[in-house]
């Protein structure tokens, strides 16, 4: 009888441990979801900003030319190799 009582006690301890661990993992999942939600909202805002800039650029050729020039500068910068030269 005492052995059965000890087994019940051990099972209860394991059950409590599993519940606590599950709660911790659920908290971590919820924290990850919050971070992902925040990142999604920031991405939506960035996309809206880019769309606004595109609208302005399309209505002003000089701004569009400057954006194209800067885009070309970025592409050139991305082609720089470790020794400092630029790949062609």
Number of domains making up the chain: 1
* Residues 6 or more apart in contact with residue 88 via CB below 8 angstroms: 79
Residue 43: per-residue pLDDT: 93
Widest distance between CA atoms in the chain = 90
Residue 49, domain extent: 2-78
Q: Measured between alpha carbons, how far is 59 from 85 in angstroms, rounded to an integer?
A: 37
| Residue 64 located in a structural domain | yes
Q: CA-CA distance, 36 to 40, in Å (whole number)?
A: 6
pLDDT (tens place) for every residue of the chain, 88 residues total:
678 888 999 999 999 999 999 999 999 999 999 999 999 999 999 999 888 888 887 788 787 777 777 776 655 555 555 565 555 5
Handedness of CA 80, 81, 83, 87 (dihedral sign): negative
Is 87 within the bounds of a domain? no
pLDDT at residue number 3? 83
Inside any domain, residue 65: yes
Q: What element of type H or E holds 66? A: helix 61-78
19 domain-assigned: yes
The predicted pLDDT at position 74 comes to: 55
Residue 38 lies in a domain: yes
């Amino acid at each position: 009888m005492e052995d059965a009582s000890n087994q019940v006690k051990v099972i209860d301890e394991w059950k409590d441990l599993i519940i606590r661990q599950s709660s911790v993992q659920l908290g971590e999942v919820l924290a990850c979801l919050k971070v992902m939600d925040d990142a999604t909202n920031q991405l939506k805002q960035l996309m809206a900003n880019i769309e606004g800039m595109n609208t302005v650029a399309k209505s002003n050729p000089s701004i569009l030319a400057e954006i194209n020039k800067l885009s070309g500068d970025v592409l050139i910068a991305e082609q720089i190799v470790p020794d400092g030269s630029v790949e062609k």
